[in-house]
Amino acid sequence: MAFAVKEKGGFKLIDEGEGEPLILLHGLFGGLANFDTVVSYFSKNYRTIVPILPLYDLPIRETTVIGLVDYLKKLISHLELKEINLLGNSLGGHVALVYTLENLSNVKSLILTGSSGLYEKAFGDTIPKRGDYDYLKEKTEQTFYNPKIATKELVDEIFETVSDREKAIRVISMAKSAVRHNLSEELNQINCPTFLIWGINDTITPLYVGEEFKRLINGAQLVTIDKCGHAPMMEHPETFNKLLAEFLRSI
């Protein structure tokens, strides 16, 4: 990871640059390093913030999508952020959606990439089996169009997480929460500019999920990246940053 993690009021986060706030939310098996290139690019013109989501630290009953949204609310309140640009990948997109629905007046723009929130069967199917390294390696490689993006370091990190019984229980709890929390009936309430960046080869939240988000969110724009899986900001960082910058300039 290229940036120092700071602690502010009990929250751990990357916080770089000045200007309009741009908050980046990682997914269930993601981390701060997923957004290194995004932070490098956008911190020149935006206050770019990547919080460590407390996926393994919340009480088990609060290890839910709503638990993460409550955490995000407290962080935004503590940092006194207004008119935020909110970006989420995978589960992070789900959290961004719920936060936006509950705080419409404080979200200037919403950006989703490989987001859950509609079709979580594929999302839930990615929960790896404990103790089966080869299975986990295969599942991690399926996150990307180019399996080489799933480095040994990345696979080892995920394997260590799910081999920890307490963390594994929380992974399952969070994934089940995402499955239960379908937002299809609420998305028409979103009224801020919304940008969808989708990998054409995403097998976890396939392109038709992005197309459904576009249909359900008024005025949403959808762009696609070829030869790209579930994490476009990692697999095609230059293209991702260019597309995002064009959208942010347009609003």
Structural domain boundaries, residue 65: 6-250
Task: Please tell me the least confidently modeled range out of 102-106, 154-158, 219-223.
Answer: 154-158
* pLDDT at position 84 over 60: yes
- How far apart (Å, rounded) are the C-alpha atoms in residues 217 and 185? 10
CATH classification at residue 194:
3.40.50.1820
pTM: 0.91
For residue 34, which of 90, 86, 74, 94 has the smallest C-alpha distance?
90
What is the overall mean pLDDT for the chain?
A: 90
173 assigned to some structural domain: yes
Stronger pLDDT, 165 or 16, i.e. the higher one: 16
User: Best-predicted range by mean pLDDT among 130-139, 162-171, 219-228?
Assistant: 219-228
Q: What are phi and psi of 8, to 5 degrees?
A: -135, 110
Is the predicted pLDDT of residue 57 greater than 80, yes or no? yes
Quick: pLDDT tens for 18-44.
999 999 999 887 777 889 999 999 999
Total count of domains within the chain: 1
Write the pLDDT tens digit of every residue in 160-208: 877 788 887 888 888 888 878 889 999 999 999 999 999 999 999 999 9
Average pLDDT over residues 50-56: 90
- Report the alpha-carbon distance of residue 147 to residue 114 in Å, rounded: 17
Residue 1 lies in a domain: no
Q: Which residue, chain included where needed, has tokens 């207004």?
A: 82
Range ranked top by mean pLDDT from 49-63, 89-103, 165-179: 89-103
Residue among 78, 62, 56, 73 at smallest CA distance from 7: 78
Domain-embedded: residue 28: yes
Identify which of 140, 113, 125, 131 has the alpha carbon closest to the alpha carbon of residue 207: 113
Residue 230 lies in a domain: yes
Q: Is residue 207 part of a domain?
A: yes
